[in-house]
Structures are given as C-alpha cells and as structure tokens.
Amino acid sequence: LEGQAEDLFTYGAKKVHLLEHPQLSSYSPSAYTAALLQLLEEVKPAVVLFPASSMGKDLAPRVAAGAGVGVASDCIRTSVEEGQLEVVRPIYAGKALAAFRFNSSPAVATLRPNVFPAMEPSDQKGEISKRELSIPEDRFGDRVDEYLKGEGAELDVTEADIIVSGGRGMKGPENFALLKELAAILPHAAVGASRAAVDSEWIGHQHQVGQTGKTVSPNLYMAFGISGAIQHVAGMSSSKVIVAVNKDSEAPILKMADFGVVGDLFQVIPPLKEELKRLLSE
C-alpha cells in the first residue's frame, strides 16, 4: 500500500494515514468501521469524505453513526462557508439541488464520481503515518471474500466517461447489440439501461442506472428510447452532457437533455455510428 500512498502525494495529498492489520485486506464492514473510528478519535478531522461507490455508500453511514453525526450522500459540490463545510446534493430524484451545511464535527459525506476534475500530477512529496490497529475478532464476522464480475460487463457504468443507455424503446434484448457497438467505438464507454429494460431481462442488472440501480456522473450520457422516469433521472442527472433520442416529443428526458433528437432511434444510431467512426479516425 505504500506505493499507492506515494501516488496520492502526486495528486495533492500532504499526509496519508496507513492503517495496517492482517485481516483488513478484504472489505469487512464492521472491521473497517472500527478501524476508521479509531483513526477519527486520534486525528479528529473536520471533514471525512467517501466515494459514492458501493463500498463508500455502505461504509460512510456506519462511520457517521459511530461518530454520532449525520452523513450527506451523493454530493456533487463542496465548499467552505463561514468555516463550515457546505455540500450540494440532488433531491426529489434529481429534479432539484439542495445545499446543506454541517453544524457537527466531523462532517461526513459521499461524493459522486467524476464531479470534480482530477488534479494534474506533480512531484510533491508527503508524509506517511503508519498505524497498527487493535480490532476485536468479533468485528470480522462480515467480510467480502470475492468480487464477481457481471457477465458481459467489460466496463462498469460508474467508471465510464461515456455511457450509452437504452430503455423500453430498444424493443428487445437483441437491439442492445446496437448500443454495445456504439459504446465500442467511443473511448472509455459503457452500456447502461433503464429499469424497464432490466426488468424485461433485455440486459443484466449491472447495467441499470437509476434510483434502484447505479448512480453515475459521466462526461457524456446518451439515452436511447428512455422516457426519463424520475427514478432513472435520479441516477444520471449530474451527467455533464446529456444527449437523448426519443420518438415522443413530450418525453421528460428531452426536457432535461442538453441535446435532443425527436426520432426513431433505429434510424439515428446507424448514421451516428458511421459519423463517430469518421470523426475519431481523423
């Protein structure tokens, strides 16, 4: 882990706390919570930030509860106002944004991926503080022994810069091949889906974006045949650019899209693929 700590210095970290224990190599919710609470007691930070990943969403509320404070989830902006951390997060399934200011310490929050630009790496050096922990054996009762990759999930939607998503308008599982072909053309792209498409078993659950799926914040979100139900919007509203294709001019997704096409997606995708191939080959 020391090598990874060194990497953090190049992106602005001045001090890295390295928590060591022979049984912490695999994620254990109870043990990780105990480890972090020990660290918080010693270091007494003003702010504790977690990624809004599956692990971060699981761990943040546990740590916050142990510290006796609240947690703000899925934040898309942070600032310091009058000496207190202020965060902005979507509410009402992404239809509005609300600012929250913490009046307790530490302030605990989870941050959506891709909402902050990465710092340029530098040759900065920092300090590594190694800490050996004493964690009771009964805290290791729950642990993750193995991560299983979903079938066909070459790139997780939460890690993609570009997401090509399909909904009920795809009309069947065989047509998701069109989206996979489109994603293959684009750099660092993944295929997403609405709940309607997943519930119809047209594509695996690991592709689902939305309130009951995954929350994403890609640079580009392309929605094909997705109406824009509030549950879906909740999972992708912080995308930097949204492009929607839907034959229904009244579809809610078109009202929130930066660019919208009212038309048959099966007539839009083929020429779009060819144009993207041409542009990316230049």
CATH number of domain containing 197: 3.40.50.1220
Q: Is residue 165 part of a domain?
A: yes
CA 271 to each of CA 94, 160, 170, 265, 278: distance values in angstroms, whole numbers, following the listed order? 32, 23, 17, 10, 11
CATH code of the domain in which 49 resides? 3.40.50.620
Q: Are residues 21 and 129 in the same domain?
A: yes
Q: Is residue 148 part of a domain?
A: no
User: What residues have CB less than 8 Å from 188, skipping those under 6 apart?
Assistant: 155, 160, 161, 162
Q: Are residues 161 and 136 in the same domain?
A: no
Name which of 216, 157, 230 is nearest 190 in CA terms: 157
Q: For 215-225, how does the pLDDT look when each residue is reduced to its tens digit (9 = 90+)?
A: 899 999 999 99
Instruction: Determine the pLDDT at residue 151.
Output: 54
Name the strand (E) or helix (H) holding 7.
helix 2-10
Q: Is the pLDDT of residue 51 over 60?
A: yes
Q: Are residues 128 and 44 in the same domain?
A: yes
Q: Are residues 96 and 193 in the same domain?
A: no
Q: Are residues 82 and 7 in the same domain?
A: yes
Q: Is the pLDDT of residue 142 over 70?
A: yes
Instruction: Determine the pLDDT at residue 211.
Output: 86
Q: Are residues 206 and 240 in the same domain?
A: yes
Q: Is residue 149 part of a domain?
A: no
Q: Are residues 169 and 49 in the same domain?
A: no
Q: Is the pLDDT of residue 244 over 70?
A: yes
Q: Is residue 161 part of a domain?
A: yes
Q: Is the pLDDT of residue 231 over 80?
A: yes
Q: Are residues 132 and 177 in the same domain?
A: no
> 143 vs 47, which has greater pLDDT?
47
Instruction: Determine the pLDDT at residue 172.
Output: 97
Q: Is residue 265 part of a domain?
A: yes
Q: Is residue 146 part of a domain?
A: no
Name which of 73, 77, 80 is nearest 59 in CA terms: 73
Q: Is residue 106 part of a domain?
A: yes
Of 114, 140, 166, which one is at a domain's C-terminal end?
140
Of 78, 110, 140, which one is at a domain's C-terminal end?
140
Instruction: Determine the pLDDT at residue 75.
Output: 93
Q: Is the pLDDT of residue 60 over 90?
A: yes
Angle at 155 between CA 244 and CA 2, to 5 degrees: 130
Instruction: Determine the pLDDT at residue 149.
Output: 63
Q: Are residues 251 and 163 in the same domain?
A: yes
Q: What is the mean pLDDT of the chain?
A: 90
Q: Is residue 152 part of a domain?
A: no
Strand order in the sheet with 241-246: 189-193, 162-166, 220-224, 241-246, 259-262
At residue 148 the predicted structure's pLDDT band, cuts being 50, 70 and 90, is low
Q: Is the pLDDT of residue 12 over 90?
A: no
Number of domains in the chain: 2
Instruction: Determine the pLDDT at residue 153.
Output: 46
Residues 251, 194 contacting (CB under 8 angstroms): no
Quickly list H helices, 85-203.
176-185, 195-199
Residues 209, 157 contacting (CB under 8 angstroms): yes
Beta strands 47-51; 107-111: pairing state? parallel
d(CA 222, CA 2): 39
**For residue 17, what are the domain limits?**
2-140
Mean pLDDT of 76-105: 88
Residues 244, 223 contacting (CB under 8 angstroms): yes
Quickly list H helices, 68-220.
176-185, 195-199
Of 80, 107, 140, which one is at a domain's C-terminal end?
140
Q: Are residues 233 and 166 in the same domain?
A: yes
Q: Are residues 73 and 185 in the same domain?
A: no
At residue 41 the predicted structure's pLDDT band, cuts being 50, 70 and 90, is very high
Q: Are residues 66 and 29 in the same domain?
A: yes
pTM for the model stands at 0.73
* Pair of tokens at residue 191: 């295929």
Residues 24, 57 contacting (CB under 8 angstroms): no
